[in-house]
Structure 1
């Protein structure tokens, strides 16, 4: 299966994050647009291999707030750690 790449740019809200992920990944119709659903879908439903690239992550951290950013980053890193076919590239 070919490598899919998801590029996140100019994330200033969770809604923007969910919008970009929904446009670029085959998220299921029942994706709940919340952080629990994000983990569930990325961990179990999105086919790999997948490379997630988050551009301007430092700006996203400022816009989202440190706590929300850390939670999102933890979800993405956990998925990458759990799945051999998912890579995470954070570009500050």
Structure 2
């Protein structure tokens, strides 16, 4: 079984974050573009296995703000911890 790869580069806004995940992981049409819906979609709607590679995270943290960046990272880490078929790779 092949692994879907989602590569995030130079994320500077929440909308861009949602856009890239939606495009690369083919989030469902009912994805509500909010943090709760993000968690729900990644944990239940996206077929695995998949890997999320987030590059340039220091730049993203500065652009998004430390709180939003931490929240997004926590959601991704939670999904990876709960699902055996999801990998998260963070690059500063």
> What interval of TM-score do these two structures reach, taking the shorter chain for normalisation?
over 0.9
Give 3-state SS (helix, strand or coil) of 2:88's partner: strand
Deviation track 1:17-65 (CA, whole Å, cap 9, x = no partner) reads 0011111012110001111110000000100000000010110000000
- Report the TM-score when normalising by structure 1: 0.98
TM-score (norm 2): 0.98
Unaligned 5+ segments in structure 1 are none
Equivalent residue pairs, number: 92
CA RMSD of aligned residues (A): 0.6
* Equivalence for 2:4: 4
Runs of 5+ unmatched residues, structure 2: none
Q: Report the alpha carbon displacement of residue 2 of structure 1 after superposing the two structures with TM.
A: 1.1
Greater than 2 Å deviation, 4+ residue runs: none
The equivalent of 1:75 in structure 2 is: 75
Query: For residues 27-46 of structure 1, what are the structure 2 equivalents within 5 Å?
Result: 27-46=27-46
